[in-house]
Structure 1
Amino acid sequence: MTAHTTLPDLPQPFGDAYRADPHGVFTSLRAQGPVHQVALPDGSHAWLVTREADVRAGLADQRLSVDKKHANTGYRGFSLPPALDANLLNLDGEDHLRLRRLVSKAFTPRHVTGLRPRIEAAAGDLADRLAARIAADGRADLVASFAAVLPLMVISDLFAVPEADRAAFSALADRMLAPRRAQDVPEAVAGLHRLLVDLVAVRRGAPGEDLLSALIAARDEEDRLSEDELVSLAFLILLAGSENTRHVISGGVLTLLQHPDQLAAVRSDPALLPGVVEELLRHGHPNQTAIRRFPTEPVEIGGVTVPAGETVLLCLSSAHRDAARYEDPDRFDPGRADTGHLALGNGVHYCLGAPLARLELTVAFETLLRRIPGLALAVQEDGLVWDTSFRSHALRELPVTTTG
C-alpha cells in the first residue's frame, strides 16, 4: 500500500507557504514540537526532526542508518542506477569506513592546501570573464558564469578529466544539478555514468597522479573495492563536490550584497573571510535536510519514538535557526562566537570534502570581491528565482552588475 493511502491525514508543510518562506515554516514547526510525521510532495511520508540538539544527535546516532535496505516505508531518497548506488551515502559500518579510507588522503588539509594555486587561478579567470560579460551586456548570471563552473573545474582537476571531455563533463553535471525538464536528471546521470566508465578505462591504460588513478589502483591491485563501488565513488565526489559549493557561492554572494556593512568589512580585511564562510554555511546552506536515515530499531528522538524502518529527515535548515542553540539565529553575523554548525554533517558521515569546500568558498569570495569591487544585484530581490523543495533551497540564477 502507498503512504498516501495509509496515512491520509498527515500535515503537508511543503506547500506554497514553505516555498515563499522556508524558514518561517520551520520556525512554526519547531514551536509546535521537535519531531513531526509529515507527508512529502511525492505522497510518501517521513519523520521531520526540527530542533538543533536532536538533529545534531541524530546525525551521529548509528542506529539511524543511511542504508536503504533498512527502509520499509516512506521516502527512500534520490534514485540512482545500481551501478552508481554503491556509494558512501548508502553505506554504514565497515563498508563505509573502507571506502572512506580509500579517498580520504585526497581531502586532507595538507593535500587540499596544495590545490590552492590552481583554484585561485581558475577563480581569477572566471571572475575576469564575469566582469567582461557585465561590461559588455550590463549584467551577467553569476551562477552560470562562476558559481556553477568553479567546483566542476576543481573536480575535473582531481580526476584529471582530459580537456577534450571537460565541456561534456560540465554540461552533463549542470544538467543534472539544475534540470529544466523531468527527463534531464535521468539522462544526465546516464551520460555521466558512461563518461566516468570511459574515463576509468582510459586511466587504467595510462594512470597518473590523480584521485581517479589512485582509486583504480585500489580496485585493481589491492581488490579493496568493486567496479561499481569505484564508479559510484567517483560519481559521489562529482555530485557532492559540485552541488553544495555552487549554491553556497551564489547564496553567499547574495547574502553579502544584502548586508553592505559586512561586505565592506570583509573587503577591507580579507582575514575575516573564514568567519564569513562559516556563518554562510550556517545561515544559508542550501540543504534543508540531511540525507534520509532509517532506524534499525525503534529510536526515541525528542521524546517521540520513531519505529524501525521509517524515514527520518534531520532538518539542517531548521536546526541552524534554532534560538535554543544560536543567539538571534536569523541574523547574519560572521563574528558570532558559536560557529558549530551542521552544514558539513556530524559523526561518521561528516563531509569528507570539508577542507576542500572551505578552501573553494574562501577563494571564491575573496576573488569576486577583489576583482569585481562594485558587484551588485541587477534585479530587485523579489525578482530572484529560487529552486525550493523539502531537500534544497537554492538560487536558480543570480543576475549581477557593477556600480561606480
Structure 2
Amino acid sequence: MILVTGGAGFIGANFVLDWLAEIGEPVVNLDKLTYAGNRENLARLADDRRHCFVQGDIGDAALLDTLLATHRPRAIINFAAESHVDRSIRGPEAFIQTNIVGTFRLLDAVRDYWSGLEGTERGAFRFLHVSTDEVYGSLAPEAPAFTEQHRFEPNSPYSASKAASDHLVRAYHHTYGLPVLTTNCSNNYGPYQFPEKLIPLVITNALAGKPLPIYGDGQQVRDWLYVEDHCRAIRRVLEAGCPGETYNVGGWSERTNLDIVQQLCTLLDELRPRPDGRSYQEQLTFVADRPGHDRRYAIDATRIATELGWRPAETLASGLRKTVEWYLANPDWVAHVQSGAYRHWVREHYEASASGGGEGRY
C-alpha cells in the first residue's frame, strides 16, 4: 500500500480517488482536516476497504511512527501543506509549522522507517514531495518559463515555507540517501477545490450574484493545470522518476487572471444563464492588489515530457468546461464548504479588507 498525506484536500483527494480508480492499490490517507481538508471529497470511498482514513498531523512524530510500522507503505506521497498566499500574509506561523516543521518531522519518521527496510523493499521505496512553482519567484513578461534548474526566489511566506520544505527533502536525499522525488506544479484547478481560490471563487460568486474580484489590473499570468492531469503526472513520477530529482509539472496554458475570469463567465453564460439574460462579466470588480503579488509564473514541463512521457490530456478550454460543469452539478458540496471556517475567512479577508478581494495563490 501507499501512504498519502493531505489526502482530504483538493489535490490530495483527487489523487486518492484517481489512484484507487486507476491503480487499485490500498491507500492510508492521513489528513489533519483543517479548513480545506474535507471528508466529503472522499464520500464515494465510504465503503471502500482499500481506503483507510486517519485524522492526524504530519507533525505528530508518534502517530507517524505508528502508521509506518503498522501499514508498512511502499511509498509516501506528501500533499500536506498550507497553500494559500493570502492566508500566509495574514498569518504566516501556520505555514512555518506545517510546511517546514511538519515536513521535517515527516521526513525524519520516514528516514527511520526506510532505514529498517531490507532488500527489494528498501530499494523500491519512494518518498514523493508535492510542491509548487511559486518557490521560483516571479518571471518577467518575456522571460523563459521555469525549468528545474531555476534558482529559488520565493516572495511570500507561503512560497518561502514551501521552498524550505523542498530544500529539506533534497537534503534528506543527499545526506541520508532517502530515495525522494519532488514535483513542482503550476496552478491547479478542477473538482473539489476550496472556493477561496480563483476559479471556484468566480464560479460560486457568479452564481450567487456577488462581485467577481480581480486583483489590480488582472494581468497577472499563471500557467493552469487541470488537477486530473497533475494526478497522472504524480503517478508517472512515482513509477519512473529518478530518486533525488525534481520534475516540473505544468499545463502549457499561460493566461492572465482576467482572461480566466472572462472565460469562466462565458461558460456560465452558456451553461447557467443569468435570469436577466445579461452576462456574468457585468459582475467583474477590480480591487486593490495584494502585497508582493507575483506578476507571472510559467512552468517548462519539457523534462517530464521527454524523460517520462507525460503531457497534459486536457486543454485549458476542456478543463475549464469540466470544472464549471462539476460545480454546477454539485451545489450541496459547495454549500457545505461555504459554511463555518470559510465564512469566517470571507468576513475577515473580504469584508474587513479595503481591497475587498482575494484570489489565493495566483
TM-score in terms of structure 1 length: 0.28
Q: Comparing both structures, which one devotes a greater share of its residues to helix?
A: 1
Say which structure is richer in strand.
2
Structure with bigger gyration radius: 1
TM-score (norm 2): 0.30
Greater relative contact order structure (CA < 8 Å, 6+ sep): 1
